[in-house]
Structure 1
Amino acid sequence: MTPRSPHPDEDAHYTLPPPQPVFFIEQALLGALLLEPQRLADVTGISSDAFSNAAHAALFTAIRSLPAPDPAQHAKSTQWLDAVLTAAGEQTRGLTASYLHGLIQVCPWPRHASAYARMVEAEHARRLLRAAAQRLAQTAHDTSLPHPAPTSLAEADALTAVVDDIAAKFPPHSPSLPRTPTPPPATAHNNEEAIDEERLLLATATAHPDDIEHMRWLTPDDFTHPAHAGIWHCLTTLARRHAPVDPVTVLWEAQQRGLLTSGTDPTDLLDLLGAPVGSPDHWGERILQRSLLATAHHTGRRIEAFTDNPATTPYQLVVGSRRALADLSAVRSRWHHATSPTPATRRAPAKATKPPRASPPRTTAPPTARVSR
């Protein structure tokens, strides 16, 4: 096996973790370009940002910025290599002539430069997707944001753009899903606040059942507590049947659905439903926003998990990411429906009528109307 060239920073006084395979792929690509600079014409769609190592990025920038030497002259002289080393040294430290020669030695086949570049591009796409997924997860979990939902949805749009870009660069093949297990949903933060808001919604919806019908944007899956989700299902069922809604009818519906276990005290549910505060819309939007943020956070973590598996191909990253983003889009659609202002009802235009026929001009005053007694 060909010995590996030294790492440009291996003289540090601490132990570095073993490099990832892409590090050696970058070495092979740079070695091919240093040995046969004319191979740069075969390397398309890649920039210095695609390299995971700062020294490698500086070398690639220098190679692209300098005119390619004459092949015959390059085989006899190190003049062009010296120019590359000088240009790259202006961007990063630690590069030596021996490192450049080591890159040339570890390159298996310079004619495979385009294949090496494709691998580097694939790993760059993985890193970009991981970073976008992490930003989405972190933003959705940030409780200090003044407008968390719009900010998180903007990060979701940025993540979608990264996925679309990867799909354009890597044509589809077998549309298999990633084999990476999906991480479990994170525990909701501010759980006590979520429970209180759900209880207030159930009470106010029971007191104002007419508001339930237009709240189809809220589903039982948006609730953090399973019992509250079940009671909301009871309320929506009663409202859509146009049945009477009050604490007693909801209690009966809950019993019919098996929500009252043997240890449940019916008076607890009656007390809960008998303390309305505010409006159902207000509490419903709060619950839906929390569900939206939780889904966005989980979406980011799912996609990040895909990128952490090195066996996942670029197109599998696209398929898995789009599947995860579709779940977020479903909640997002309901969120827009809940928060968009209701359009004003437009009055139908009056039917056109024929203009009245013109009467001849009056030459005398009209007769005075007679008032009958």
Structure 2
Amino acid sequence: MALDDIPADPPVRYAEQALLGALILEPLRIKTLGPLGPEHFSVAMHGALFAAMSALTAPAPEVHAREPVWITALLAQARPHARGLTVSYLHTLADACPEPSHASAYAQMIVANRARLTIRAAAERLVQAATGPLLPDPAAHVLDSTDAVAAVLDDLGGLFPSHPGSLPRTVLPPPPSRDTGTGSDAAGEEQLLLSTVAARPGCLPEMRWLRPEDFTVPLHGVLYRCMASLAYRGDPIDAVTVLWEAQHHGLLASGVTAKDVLDLLATPAGSPEHWGEQILRRSLLHHAHTTGLHIHAYTDDLANTPHQLITGSRRALADLGAVRARWQHATRPPSAGPPRTKPAPASRAGPATPRVTPPAVSTRASR
């Protein structure tokens, strides 16, 4: 690797050096730093040195000015955990401190950087839960990871409370692609749902938890919207009436033929609720994946302050919360009452998310 290719030290590295240099020059300032621990440092040696500073009793200023007792004690305490630590490096740290009285500001920078990395790690776990090998209950795994992200944001919210004008300006990546191949399980299950609902449309009033945007194939989503429109108006539903409604939605003008629509609706099988849950589960995982990528993008943008990171992440979780509420409505036992929903984490960062009160669900037919 050429010298020009060596990456520059991140700004937090200089903040760590400045803070440690301040504490070498004026040890008693460690009492003014607030919630800071060795785990907040990005360099292991710096963390070990700060741990030594926290464990030792700082010398009186007059003693510190006359004798190197503080330097000697730090080396003895920290060297077992930082083998490369030398007297020379301690002097380098002292020279790196512009002003010891700014120690609290340097500490706040270090805490802010740690907060960014903590949010990023939580977002990565959410992405992994949404895209990793399917577990027996992938939706539950994703919801647990979502709750973990919310808990991290709540913990950090006490250190960095939101304030007006704290929305991030990061350009977010597009949503990840969805499996829309005609031979995929997703496309097949969506086709089975449409065929079965066309044959037994009485289930539609009880499946308002499913939305056209949950479908991976846009054509399937439009046909489901046509069925929902017919059901809303109280019109009869079968393959021919759905075809007629699809014409009014402009579907036949987009290259889809009448025979294509009728073929899609020709093979009913199984339970509409079962196929609907499969589609909604896939939509939940997709939205969780998107949310994790958006939060990760916020953490990659170093222009975002901790306030902006927390606010943007809460907004992203609120978008996922709408799909989560529909999933809980769809999967709760028939005898259970409406699910208890937690207040949306985003409510502290902007307008409150309206709560959707789901309709009562009647007992499903056994699958």
Category of TM-score, reference length = shorter chain = 0.7 to 0.9
Which deviates more, 321-330 or 67-76?
A: 67-76
Distance 1:184 1:337 in 2: 28
| Alpha-carbon spacing, 1:249–1:299, altered in 2? closer, same or farther (3 Å) | same
Deviations 1:55-77 (A, max 9, x none): 11101100000111121111222
Cα gap change, 1:190 to 1:95, in 2 (>3 Å): farther
| Equivalent residue, structure 1, for 2:60 | 70
CA deviation profile, 1:110-137 (whole Å, cap 9, x unmatched): 1111111111111110110011111101
Letter of the structure 1 residue corresponding to residue 319 of structure 2: D
Moved over 4 A (4+): none
The partner residue of 1:42 within 32, 40, 55 is 32
Alpha-carbon deviations, 1:230-253, whole Å to 9, x = none?
100011111222211110111111
- Partner residue, 2:308: 316
Q: 1:59 aligns with which of 26, 42, 49?
A: 49
Q: Distance in 2 between matches of 1:126 and 1:302?
A: 14
SS of the counterpart of 1:174?
A: coil
Q: Which runs of 5+ in 2 are unaligned?
A: 338-367
What residue number does 1:236 align with?
228
Q: Which residue of 2 aligns with 1:275?
A: 267
What's the CA shift for 1:262? 5.8
- Do the aligned partners of residues 248 and 132 (structure 1) sit closer, same or farther apart at CA in structure 2, a change above 3 Å counting? same
**Residue 104 (str. 1) matches residue 84 (str. 2):** no
The CA RMSD measured in Å over matched residues stands at: 1.8
Once the 2 structures are TM-superposed, how far is the Cα of residue 203 of structure 1 from its aligned partner? 0.6
The equivalences for 1:123-162 within 5 A come to 123-162=113-152
Q: Distance in 1 between matches of 2:8 and 2:142?
A: 35
Tell me the alpha carbon deviations over residues 26-51 of structure 1, each in whole angstroms, 9 at most, x when there is no partner: 00001111111100111111111111
Q: What is the one-letter code of the residue matched to 1:267?
A: K
Q: Distance in 1 between matches of 2:133 and 2:174?
A: 21
State the match for 1:89 in structure 2: 79
Q: Which residue of 2 aligns with 1:364?
A: none
Q: Secondary structure at the match of 1:206?
A: helix
Contact 2:179 2:216 in 1 (8 A): no
Distance between the aligned counterparts of 1:143 and 1:260, measured in 2?
Answer: 39
- Matching of residue 33 in structure 1 with residue 26 in structure 2: no
Taking a change above 3 Å as real, the CA distance of residues 190 and 74 of structure 1, as seen in their structure-2 partners, is: farther
Match of 1:303 in 2: 295
Deviation at 1:344, TM superposition (A): 6.5
Cα separation, 2, equivalents of 1:178 and 1:137: 21
Per-residue CA deviations over 1:251-276 (Å, capped at 9, x if unaligned) read 11101111112632211211210101
Equivalent pairs counted in the alignment come to: 333
In structure 2, C-alpha distance between the alignment counterparts of 1:262 and 1:311, rounded to whole Å: 43
Distance in 2, matches of 1:149 and 1:123, equals 31
Offset at residue 144 of structure 1 (A): 3.1
Structure 2: how far apart are the matches of 1:297 and 1:70?
Answer: 54
Instruction: Give 2:240's match in structure 1, choosing from 236, 239, 248.
Output: 248
Kindly provide the CA deviation profile for residues 120-174 of structure 1, in whole angstroms up to 9, marking residues without a partner as x.
1111101100111111011111133222111111111111111112221113333
TM-aligned CA deviation for residue 84 of structure 1? 1.0
Which of 4, 11, 14 is residue 24 of structure 1 equivalent to? 14
Name the counterpart of 1:363. Answer: none
Q: Relative to 1, partners in 2 of residues 1:153 and 1:262: Cα closer, same or farther, differing over 3 Å? A: closer
- Tell me, in whole angstroms, the C-alpha distance in 1 between the residues paired with 2:161 and 2:249: 50
Identity level (%): 52
Contact 1:175 1:315 in 2 (8 A): no
In 1, the alpha carbon distance for the partners of 2:80 and 2:112 equals 28
Would you say the 8 A contact 2:162–2:311 is kept in 1?
no
Gap change, CA 1:16 and 1:82, over 3 Å in 2: farther
The aligned amino acid for 2:15 is I
8 Å contact 1:299–1:324 — kept in the other structure? yes
